[in-house]
Amino acid sequence: MPDPAVGRSLLLVLHDVAPQTWPDYQPFVEAVDRLGNIPMTWLVVPDFHQHDPLVLAAGFRQMLDRRVQRGDELALHGYYHADDSPPPHSPRDYFMRRIYTHEGEFYSLDRAVALERLQAGMDLFQRFGWPLAGFVAPAWLMSEGTRQALQSLPLQYTSDPGHLYRLPDFTPICAPGLVWSARSAWRRGLSRLACDCQAVRLEQAPVIRLGLHPVDMRHGFARRYWMHTLQQLLQQGRTPLTKSAWLAGRQA
């Protein structure tokens, strides 16, 4: 495989991975597998929306075991992927937690609670024998308490829409991506236009992330876009890598 620090790379990232969302992803993943050896980063939620715990999903965990053996990476993606903090008290927080998303689990957590959930997620990965290098907050929203908690843990990276950050110092590395908001037809249409423009700007970028969500997979328009985009980037000679593999190919 080419040195990821030399060539242009592609990171295929599946968000919100849980037993509940696997039926959405499965046909797409199988189609990707038919293209060849394309490693993916799976953002795994330990207990999706507090009613889909991994501990009760043996078959799903076995599937993830096989993905790890295949060369994919599993990263921790929150714990519940649901905002269960007390109601917002400011207009800004109301917008972020009730309009922008209801799933910003780590947006308002203090250090103690964030640390407790992060550690619980890490313990779960260890219990299942899954290597763990990265944490991605749901909706990429993190409180200062979450940042402080991450600085005290043996994780290697976190991310937001435009960067990966080496931990514990949050050293930023530019890693732009394409992502859709697919909850309605008008959002899907605007997402397509925005991503088409972004893809042109990123044509010579060292790395492009494709950030997929389960809701994307429920609409043929979005599924076809992601498959076409993936194939196009591969044809351009980009090397598909997991997040950890790409980071390992760069100087610290």
Give yes or no for residue 88 having a pLDDT over 90. Answer: no
Whether 11 shows a pLDDT value over 50: the answer reads yes
Domains and CATH numbers, the chain: 9-248 (3.20.20.370)
pLDDT in tens, 212-242: 999 999 999 999 999 999 999 999 999 999 9
Instruction: Check whether 82 has a pLDDT greater than 60.
Output: yes
pLDDT, greater one: 4 or 203: 203
Looking from the CA of 76 toward its CB, the CA atoms found within 13 Å total 30
pLDDT recorded at residue 85: 59
- Quick one: which of 135, 204, 193 has its CA closest to 164? 135
Which helix (H) or strand (E) covers residue 16, if one does? strand 9-17
The two tokens of residue 176 are: 């732009």
- 62-79 pLDDT, tens digit per residue, is 999 999 999 999 999 999
Would you state the pLDDT for residue 243?
A: 98
Chain segment 122-174, per-residue pLDDT in tens: 999 999 999 999 999 999 999 999 999 999 999 999 999 999 999 999 999 99
What tens digit of pLDDT does each residue of 160-209 get? 999 999 999 999 999 999 999 887 888 899 999 999 999 999 999 999 99
Give strand pairing partners of 164.
159, 173
Q: pLDDT per residue over 96-121, tens digit each?
A: 555 565 676 899 899 999 999 999 99
The full DSSP string for 22-90 is HHHHHHHHHHHHHTS----EEEE-TBGGGS-BGGG-HHHHHHHHHHHHHT-EEEE--SSSS--SSPP-S
